[in-house]
Amino acid sequence: MSTAVDMPRFVRAKQVEALPPPNLARGPIAWIRENLFSGPFNTLLTLVVLYLLYVSVPPMVKFLFIDAVWTGTDRAACRADTGGSESGACWAFIWDKINYFIYGSYTVSERWRVNIFFALLAIGVVWLLWLRAPRRDLGAVYFFWIFPTASYILLTGGNESFSGRFWIGFAILGALVISLFAFVAAVLKASMRPALVIGGGIVAVVGVTLALVDMDFGLAHVPTSLWGGILVTLLVATVGIVVSLPFGIVLALGRRSKLPIVRLASVIFIEFVRGVPLITVLIMANTMLPLFLPGDMTVDRLLRPLIGTALFASAYMAEVVRGGLQAMPKGQYEGAMSLGLNYPQMMSLIILPQALRIVIPGIVNTFIGLFKDTSLVAIVGIFDLVKTIEASRIDPNWAAPTIGMTGYVFAALFYFIFCFGMSRYSLGVERRLAAGQKR
């Protein structure tokens, strides 16, 4: 085709550059017109919202920054009658109390242990949440075993000094567990080795944990009544997460089980917990738990709300995991079965890894809810961040009108940073997963 040679010369070979649009149709002015003032209604709306912003934002900035008191050692700085400023936030108060807000009354000389706990927690969280981190399976072991054990020893001081009777009891129980596994394997005519390895493994893990807890590392004992502030907030959240994930998975599997009684028990538990407010669960743990235990046994005051929040979060987690299980195509189950996998193998190797992956956003959202809910332990008298702020509000050294507001703004900021961060993360994962689905 060489007709091109005969083409008239006046035809352009290249498109002419388009003229710029008229000034009113581009640039910031056009953008503003398009987005803010495109009609009478829209204009009105914009003006109303701008007015609202004008009414609310400048006073807020004034309160938080411009009129705020940044330095000072006692209430004089934040009271008008002593020459201070009363119209702005009293950040000096936060600064003065910051150690109390972080550690509560934790023994001052031992606070480095809390710092290590924070660091260990950060490592565990990053390891698990960063999807491309190396050896995430080890990360799980770390987060669900090494980290809790280490934290327990660090924070309480360990050195539980169990009695000899306790160890004998544990040895008997351990032997029972191993022989139970062996017995089941024998009855099922399955091979003995894996059963013994699993049974022995469980006993060994528990035994090593107990031995570590029992060991004297020379750390001074710090009673839980001294713990407080952000330490307790993060602790409650962490325990909730560490317990609720496995427990929630078990409950979700129970709810999807073919066995009617298992299903019924799971459904009752989940629906019961989801039907009542957390605060009633916490009050129950606080007032009723001691009644249900044998007379000479008491549960630590901090442990009670921990159990309460962990159970509560488990029920919500179970529903999230169930969503993931239901989203698995039936072919996955059938495929696994046709390979001859038994139930535990099918679940742990095929279904759960996929199901949990697609519900990561849901899991993170549950964590956000859990993290916010930790503030409720303040109502049952645990000194978490909210409670330490409440307690500091009535310190006569800092009695000033703006103390309460400042404290709550600080708390709001703390929770916001964590929750907003988690929600961004969950959005990111959602987008990544969606990208995988689109292909």
Binding to other proteins in span 375-434, by CB under 8 A: 375-376, 378-379, 381, 386, 390-391, 393-396, 399-401, 404-405, 408-409, 411-412, 415-416, 419-420, 423
Least Å distance, CB 261 to other proteins, is 4
135 binds other proteins (CB under 8 A): no
Q: Which of 306, 296, 337 is nearest to 244 (CA)?
A: 306
Contact residue for other proteins among 297, 329, 330, 340 (CB under 8 A): 297
Place of tokens 């606070």: 111
Q: How far is CA 366 from the centre of its chain?
A: 8
CA-to-CA separations, 71 to 93, 136, 201, 363, in angstroms, rounded: 8, 45, 56, 41
Residues 162-191 that bind other proteins (CB under 8 A): 187-189
298 binds other proteins (CB under 8 A): yes
Q: How far is CA 313 from the centre of its chain?
A: 10
Least Å distance, CB 350 to other proteins, is 18
Least Å distance, CB 175 to other proteins, is 14
Q: Which stretch binds other proteins (CB under 8 A): 6-14, 321-329, 374-382, 429-437?
A: 374-382
Place of tokens 């987690």: 317
Q: Which of 282, 296, 154, 155 is nearest to 224 (CA)?
A: 155
The Cα 237–Cα 243 span in angstroms is 10
Please count the CA atoms within 13 angstroms of the CA of 197 that sit on its side-chain side.
4
Contact residue for other proteins among 25, 26, 27, 35 (CB under 8 A): 35
Residue 63 is given by DSSP the state: I
372 binds other proteins (CB under 8 A): yes
Residues 40-79 that bind other proteins (CB under 8 A): 42, 45-46, 49-50, 52-53, 79
Size of the site for other proteins (CB under 8 A): 97
Residues 194-253 that bind other proteins (CB under 8 A): 202, 206, 210, 213, 223, 225-226, 247, 250
Residues 248-287 that bind other proteins (CB under 8 A): 250, 254, 258-262, 265, 271-272, 274-280, 283-284, 286-287
The Cα 142–Cα 87 span in angstroms is 49
Q: Which of 309, 420, 416, 305 is nearest to 373 (CA)?
A: 309
